[in-house]
């Protein structure tokens, strides 16, 4: 049985570093790249943008992330599976691990958010605490 490695990816340099690490470290594994779209993550209570335009932009951004992911995989002469879900990243990642038979998670130490924790981003920290499988944290660049 081949290993299934999950790489959460938000388009950040840290996520790119995690993907490269996963492809180098687990060359025979099935790698799944998960992009989580958090509904209205960038909006305040002051107003909500039209949902249709927001969803369209979210899909376009996910497509751009996956184009870059496919280019990285091609450089390693392999392919990866890509999937995106709506929801809170911490919840979705942990749910995906359990629902999809993931054996290990490889993720960046921080994401795109401007609010950084001292050692780990809040998503990475929460996944480390809640995941039912080993989690490897990779430090990358922004």
Q: Which domains does the chain have, with CATH numbers?
A: 4-138 (3.40.50.620)
Per-residue model confidence (pLDDT) at position 57:
84
Q: For residue 103, give the 3-state DSSP assignment.
A: coil
Q: For residue 53, give the 3-state DSSP assignment.
A: helix
Q: Is the pLDDT of residue 113 over 90?
A: no
Q: Is the pLDDT of residue 120 over 70?
A: no
Pairing of strands 4-8, 104-108: parallel
Mean pLDDT over residues 114-138, rounded? 78
Per-residue model confidence (pLDDT) at position 44:
45
**Is 77 within 8 Å of 71 (Cβ atoms)?**
no
**Is 108 within 8 Å of 14 (Cβ atoms)?**
yes
Q: Is the pLDDT of residue 82 over 50?
A: yes
Q: What's the mean per-residue pLDDT of the chain?
A: 85
């Amino acid at each position: 049985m081949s290993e299934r490695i999950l790489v959460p990816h938000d388009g950040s340099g840290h996520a790119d570093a995690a993907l490269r690490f996963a492809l180098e470290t687990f060359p025979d594994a099935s790698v799944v790249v998960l992009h989580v779209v958090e509904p209205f993550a960038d909006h305040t209570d002051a107003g909500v943008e039209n949902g249709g335009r927001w969803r369209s932009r979210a899909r376009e951004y996910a497509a751009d992330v996956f184009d870059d992911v496919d280019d990285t995989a091609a450089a390693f002469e392999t392919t990866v599976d890509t999937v995106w879900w709506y929801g809170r990243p911490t919840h979705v990642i942990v749910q995906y691990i359990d629902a999809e038979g993931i054996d290990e998670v490889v993720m960046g130490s921080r994401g795109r958010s401007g609010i950084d924790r001292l050692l780990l981003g809040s998503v990475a920290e929460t996944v480390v605490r809640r995941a039912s499988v080993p989690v490897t944290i990779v430090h990358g660049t922004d």
